[in-house]
């Protein structure tokens, strides 16, 4: 038995020896192969080792900022944060300083109002079986201000992940010009609309990185080299848009939208000498931060429609340029036969036999039908339509431009085109054509992008220069047209009388365009028109050109379509001319006509008490900014006229103190900001519900003021919400 057992033992040992020897030789052969080739399963081992120990950290790049022409920010990348909650108890090493959520219910009760969530919903998230959780859309992309409010609660376990988001500090300010950009699936910011889309190749950024050899914990190994790829920041874009003029326009449009509730509003302000667009706004609009968009087209460039009588400007210019216009010649107004069709003046009966000049002032369709049919001739008039580029796009540097259509097939269409019916054009086409009238016959291409600049080197990558795109009329013709268009505003017969601006000579033409019906023909009814005005000032040397159109406003029986249009035109044009320091016309200064409004005197040097008393006696509302005993300066300035009940900002000597601006309109906010030299940023529309600089705080020139506004119907709720936030912040102490 022993011999047999011994024999089996030797046999088993031999087998094991053979197996281990075989394994050793296999492993040794594999080791030699790896040493020689450096490849395993098709993978280069050196590369895999490099990947394992090579650490790479992203260096964030910044998308280009969009500025107005004065350097004010219109769109920029700002830090944003995602709220996270740590639920893992193992993260807490010191019970006196917990690093996880200890009390879900107490945490939820304090956190939920700031995230605009239900307490139960937040508590449910905080009780999940997870190490770390987020709060969905309500907890993403929060602002730095909200982050500070949450941090002030000192909630254990609540932290933040930093990111960036695209921010538009002025809300719906020129939103169809700027557009918007948003994060894509791979977390890149991409332009989706407006200039953000058009200029994405310039604005787009590319992150850099730093790469180094590191250990398993991410720490750099000693004596290793770093590889640094610097970030490529997006280029900065400077627009021709002037923030002040755009603010005047947005404010005026808001007032008209609130009062008249029109279907659409379109307004453009341009420099006719260069083609620069200084302001452009439409309604309905949207806030790029919220992207609450109902219309994806910029109606100022993408909405062709029959312009109505503003088209008569160019028919008149063609007739004068061809030498066939005699303003003193008389004709029979009322009706004009074109084949089987009869064209009638807008009052249906006309004004008897009148001169052509009076026909222009009264906006007679018959007068312009005669000019096209008998004076110019249809073929020659068509040539002028082409010379004014009504057959092509302007080429403005905004995406989505449309082009109108010249309907010239039938005899009646050729005649009605002369007074703006049948043929369609876009607002920007009318602006471009009108630059020829305001600029001595030279027609300027409109543009909104002034230059693109590399933020790292300051090098100008792209620059727009004023471009003459044609000279449809002579300089002499342009002056004659301006002379006649001024009488449209000043004459007792003129349809443009509501567009007079005290101190300045205005030249322009009204328009009342019919709206085609889906069932054929045109809509009927007092309000179913597009009311418009195309005007320029000062007439003797136009510096500003403005087009305003208001579609289907809700008018009272005592109002005409000029009411909402003139409110926008006169307020914006006057404020803009004064802002640009364009002196009133000499003739207007000399003429002593009765003035409307209350003239502001000079109160500089007055005692604060005396200035306040005198302004109150005039029916104005004085607002004292500062604690000094003597007035240093004020806005509005001496010589300006305002209506009763308006605020007058009085800056005293010494340090300036921030007033309580809650409930103020944006116009009043801008007065105070101008007086104090503050940089402003607004959110929302309507009236102020909160301000970033607290009332009573000392302010200095260049300080940044952020105001949040709400519509009147939302104002009370917004104020109550702000008061509630302030009360909670005071009552809630640190969580134990």
Which of residues 555, 590, 625 is at a domain's end?
590
Q: Which residues contact 288 (CB under 8 A, 6 or more apart)?
A: 75, 166, 168, 171, 172, 175, 178, 179, 180
With cut-offs at 50, 70 and 90, classify the pLDDT of residue 638. confident
The per-residue pLDDT for range 664-710, each reduced to its tens digit, is 877 788 888 888 888 877 776 667 888 888 888 888 888 888 888 77
Determine the pLDDT at residue 732. Answer: 43
- Summarize the confidence of residues 336-342 as an average pLDDT: 92
Contact between 240 and 69 under an 8 Å Cβ cutoff? The reply is yes
The per-residue pLDDT for range 472-495, each reduced to its tens digit, is 999 999 999 999 999 999 998 899
Q: Is the pLDDT of residue 716 over 50?
A: no
- Summarize the confidence of residues 175-182 as an average pLDDT: 92
By the 10 Å C-beta count (0-12 exposed, 13-18 middle, 19+ buried), 223 is classed as exposed
Q: What is the DSSP string of 442-454?
A: -EE--BSEEEEE-
Is the same domain home to 553 and 632?
no
> Which run of H or E residues covers position 266?
strand 264-270
Q: Is the pLDDT of residue 421 over 70?
A: yes
234 falls within a domain: no
Q: What is the DSSP string of 101-112?
A: -S-HHHHHHHHH
Residue numbers of the domain that contains 398: 258-590
- For 126-198, strand residue ranges (E) read 132-134, 158-167, 180-183, 189-193
Is the same domain home to 570 and 422?
yes
- Summarize the confidence of residues 250-255 as an average pLDDT: 93
- Summarize the confidence of residues 35-53 as an average pLDDT: 45
Q: Is the pLDDT of residue 714 over 80?
A: no
Q: Which of 651, 645, 639, 638 is nearest to 620 (CA)?
A: 645
504 falls within a domain: yes
CB-based burial, 562-598: b 16+ in 10 Å, e otherwise: bbbbbbbbbbbbbbbbbeeeeebbeeeeeeeeeeeeb
Q: Which of 126-140, 222-236, 383-397, 609-623 has the highest mean pLDDT?
A: 383-397
Q: Is the pLDDT of residue 644 over 80?
A: no
3-state DSSP call for residue 438?
Answer: helix
Is the same domain home to 465 and 610?
no
With cut-offs at 50, 70 and 90, classify the pLDDT of residue 733. very low
Is the same domain home to 325 and 367?
yes
Alpha helices (runs of H) in 394-474, residue ranges in sequence order: 411-416, 427-438
Is the same domain home to 575 and 665?
no
With cut-offs at 50, 70 and 90, classify the pLDDT of residue 467. very high
* 470 against 626, higher pLDDT: 470
209 falls within a domain: no
221 falls within a domain: no
Determine the pLDDT at residue 549. Answer: 96
Is the same domain home to 47 and 73?
no
Instruction: Name the percent of the chain lying above pLDDT 90.
Output: 45
Is the same domain home to 389 and 422?
yes
3-state DSSP call for residue 334?
Answer: coil
> What residues are annotated to the active site?
309
Strand order through the sheet with 687-691: 679-683, 704-710, 687-691
Is the same domain home to 79 and 46?
no
Check: pTM over 0.85? Answer yes or no: no
Is the same domain home to 298 and 185?
no
**CATH code of the domain containing 406:** 3.40.710.10
250 falls within a domain: no
**CATH code of the domain containing 688:** 3.30.10.20
Determine the pLDDT at residue 477. Answer: 96
CB-based burial, 659-669: b 16+ in 10 Å, e otherwise: bebeebbbbbb
Which of residues 204, 224, 245 is at a domain's end?
204
92 falls within a domain: yes
**CATH code of the domain containing 140:** 3.30.70.2110
Total domain count, the chain: 4
Segment among 51-55, 385-389, 397-401 with least mean pLDDT: 51-55
Segment among 132-136, 330-334, 459-463, 641-645 with least mean pLDDT: 641-645
The per-residue pLDDT for range 73-97, each reduced to its tens digit, is 999 888 788 889 888 888 888 888 8
Is the same domain home to 720 and 636?
yes
Which of residues 571, 590, 609 is at a domain's end?
590
Alpha-carbon span 563 to 565, nearest angstrom: 6
- Summarize the confidence of residues 307-329 as an average pLDDT: 95
For 177, other C-beta atoms within 10 Å of its C-beta total: 26
CA atoms within 13 A on the CB side of 173: 30
Q: What is the mean pLDDT of the chain?
A: 84
Is the same domain home to 644 and 695?
yes
228 falls within a domain: no
Is the same domain home to 328 and 293?
yes
17 falls within a domain: yes
């Amino acid at each position: 038995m022993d011999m047999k057992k011994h024999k089996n033992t030797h046999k088993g040992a031999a087998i094991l020896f053979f197996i281990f020897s075989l394994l050793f030789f296999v492993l040794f052969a594999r080791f030699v192969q790896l040493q020689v080739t450096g490849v395993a399963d098709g993978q280069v081992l050196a590369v895999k080792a490099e990947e394992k120990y090579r650490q790479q950290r992203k260096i964030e790049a910044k998308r280009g900022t969009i500025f107005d022409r004065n350097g004010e920010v219109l769109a920029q990348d700002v830090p944003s944060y995602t709220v996270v909650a740590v639920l893992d108890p193992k993260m807490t090493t010191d019970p006196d300083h917990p690093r996880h959520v200890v009390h879900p219910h107490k945490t939820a009760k304090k956190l939920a109002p700031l995230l605009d969530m239900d307490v139960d919903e937040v508590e449910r998230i905080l009780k999940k079986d997870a190490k770390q959780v987020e709060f969905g859309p309500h907890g993403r992309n929060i602002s730095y201000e909200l982050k500070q409010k949450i941090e002030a609660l000192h909630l254990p376990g609540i932290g933040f992940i930093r990111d960036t988001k695209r921010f538009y500090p002025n809300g719906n300010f020129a939103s169809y010009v700027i557009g918007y950009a948003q994060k894509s699936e791979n977390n890149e910011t991409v332009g989706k609309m407006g200039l953000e889309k058009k200029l994405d190749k310039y604005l787009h950024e590319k992150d850099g990185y730093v790469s180094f050899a590191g250990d398993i914990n991410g720490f750099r190994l000693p004596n290793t080299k770093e590889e640094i790829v610097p970030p490529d920041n997006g280029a900065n874009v400077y627009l021709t848009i002037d923030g002040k003029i755009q603010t005047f326009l947005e404010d005026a449009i808001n007032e008209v939208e609130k009062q008249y509730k029109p279907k659409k509003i379109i307004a453009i302000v341009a420099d006719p000498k260069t083609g620069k667009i200084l302001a452009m706004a439409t309604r309905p609009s949207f806030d790029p931060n919220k992207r609450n968009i109902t219309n994806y087209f910029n109606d100022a460039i993408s909405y062709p429609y029959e312009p109505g009588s503003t088209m008569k400007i160019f028919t008149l210019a063609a007739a004068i340029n061809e030498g066939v216009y005699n303003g003193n010649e008389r004709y029979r107004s009322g009706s004009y036969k074109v084949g089987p069709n009869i064209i009638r003046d807008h009052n249906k009966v006309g004004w008897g036999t009148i001169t052509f000049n009076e026909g222009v002032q009264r906006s007679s369709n018959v007068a312009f039908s005669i000019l096209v049919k008998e004076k110019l001739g249809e073929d020659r008039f068509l040539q002028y339509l082409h010379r004014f580029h009504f057959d092509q796009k302007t080429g403005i540097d905004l995406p989505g431009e449309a082009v109108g259509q010249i309907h010239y097939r039938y005899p009646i269409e050729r005649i009605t085109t002369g007074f703006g019916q049948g043929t369609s054009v876009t607002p920007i086409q009318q602006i471009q054509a009108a630059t020829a009238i305001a600029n001595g016959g030279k027609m300027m291409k409109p543009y909104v992008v002034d230059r693109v600049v590399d933020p790292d080197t300051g090098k100008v990558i792209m620059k727009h220069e004023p471009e003459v795109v044609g000279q449809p009329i002579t300089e002499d013709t342009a002056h004659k047209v301006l002379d006649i268009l001024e009488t449209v505003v000043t004459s007792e017969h003129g349809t443009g009388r509501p567009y007079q601006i005290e101190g300045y000579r205005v030249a322009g033409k009204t328009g009342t365009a019919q709206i085609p019906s889906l069932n054929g023909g045109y809509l009927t009814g007092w309000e179913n028109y597009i009311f418009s005005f195309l005007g320029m000032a000062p007439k003797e040397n136009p510096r500003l050109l403005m087009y305003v159109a208001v579609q289907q406003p809700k008018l009272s029986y005592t109002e005409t379509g000029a009411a909402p249009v003139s409110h926008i035109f006169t307020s914006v044009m006057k404020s803009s001319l004064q802002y640009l320091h364009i002196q009133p016309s000499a003739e207007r200064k000399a003429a002593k006509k009765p003035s409307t409004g209350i003239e502001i005197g000079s109160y500089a040097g007055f005692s604060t008490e005396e200035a306040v008393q005198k302004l109150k006696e005039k029916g104005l509302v004085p607002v004292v900014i500062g604690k000094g005993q003597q007035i240093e300066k004020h806005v509005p300035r001496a010589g300006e006229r305002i209506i009763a009940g308006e605020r007058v900002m009085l800056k005293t000597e010494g340090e300036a103190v921030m007033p309580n601006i809650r409930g103020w309109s944006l116009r009043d906010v801008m007065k105070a900001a101008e007086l104090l030299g503050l940089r402003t940023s607004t959110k929302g529309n309507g009236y102020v519900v909160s301000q970033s600089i607290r009332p009573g705080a000392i302010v200095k020139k260049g300080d940044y003021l952020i105001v949040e506004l709400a519509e009147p119907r939302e104002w009370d709720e917004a104020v109550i919400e702000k008061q509630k936030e302030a009360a909670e912040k005071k009552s809630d102490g640190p969580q134990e």
